[in-house]
Structure 1
Amino acid sequence: MSTLTQTAPVAQSLLIIDDDTELTEMLQSYLQHSGYQVKVASDGNSGLEIARADNSIDLILLDVMMPGMDGFDVLKALRQTHITPVLMLTARGDDYDRILGLELGADDYLPKPFNHRELVARIKALFRRQALTSGARQQQDVSHNQVTLSVSRQIVTCHGEQLSLTGTEFGILHLLLVNAGSLVTKEDISDKVLGKPLQAYDRSIDMHVSNLRKKLAAAGDEEKIKTIRGAGYLFMLAS
């Protein structure tokens, strides 16, 4: 009697770039036990090489403080060619590191020292965000005020010029466009795009929207995203 065999799902692949070998060994063991494939690089240069060459990497855990090529340098170089989600590992209480990382295109940050369960929760939230963006591909393209977002091709143009957006920026812009002319709250953005409840004093949404504004402004002069103070954001319809 023949039996049907089921193929096990491929484990999601993580890359840890951190010079703290004791920490990376513990993280690698813990994350592998949690069901992930894990690769490790102990310096920025080798980490960047792996991130660029290995297309199977689904998410990168990137430490800020490393000798030589630090996390910011790695992120800047990586964002020139790749939109792989990046979770920055920053010093606790150092707002400058967090803000700069988000400005350079990081998707989220986690201050050290951190609880391993919180790390896994952040990783899962980033993968949920990817799934939401992928799900949007089944929807129709959307266009307002000289901005067109193609969900099928994952392309955004502004005044005919193609923009280079991270996955998080793409998700936020898509949510704003499908609700053009109406308020989109920070709670909605955090839940539907970031995949997590809005945290008090979390400035990550503000930084992602700021990055979006800069990229839109580079292709057109007029303001397209309006801040509704204390509430959220509104994508402006053409006047």
Structure 2
Amino acid sequence: MRKILIAEDDHKAGVLLKTYLEKHQYEVTLAQDGLNFQNEFSRQADQLSLVILDVMLPDTDGFALCKVVRRRSNVPVIMLTASSDEADRIVGLELGADDYIAKPYSPRELLARIKAIHRRAGLEAQAAPRYYRFVGFTLDLLERTVTDAAGALVPLTGLDYQLLKYFVEHPGDILDRGMLCEQTRGRDAGPLDRSLDVQISKLRLRLNDDGKQPALIKTVRGAGYVFSADVSAAPA
């Protein structure tokens, strides 16, 4: 169970966050004001694994909602605050929040905080997927294999597997070369190190991804690479 309820009055920011978390296999409900949040919380309280509360809302504030949550549930709470005032963070923690993050925030950092809280609650291990499926391919993390739509094995080296695994775990994210080298080789890439680019070219070939106009692993000039396929995850 990885269900998250978010109170965020900025519609654009809320939708972007919801989309980002859903790509990482979280079920997300978005509320844009306190009343909507309380209605959703009353309906879902026993199913939630996390609540995210923006401190500033049009009809109330995150502190008041944190009190509402704590009167009924021990579900973990993360507070979002645009204030740099330490007092805001202290108040939130004293009201029972488990963590806070300052706005503007990196979605990747927020995801790391969410995962850390879920790990402490024992939820991440339970929800860990075995299979990732994308455009007819299936990556099996237990067997460390990839099969195509016909069920035939796709030959992969160890580096191919590590690289593909990282891509399917972060679909739609722009991943810089240094991060990819660190994940696959345990070291950063030097400015003249083209080994990663060669490895990605090989992986594209194995996945029948046109090297001149790739549809799966796209190059983002000056930034890195992005895995653009729709990815679904499933447990064993």
Larger Rg: 2
For CA contacts below 8 A with separation 6 or more, give which structure has more relative contact order.
2
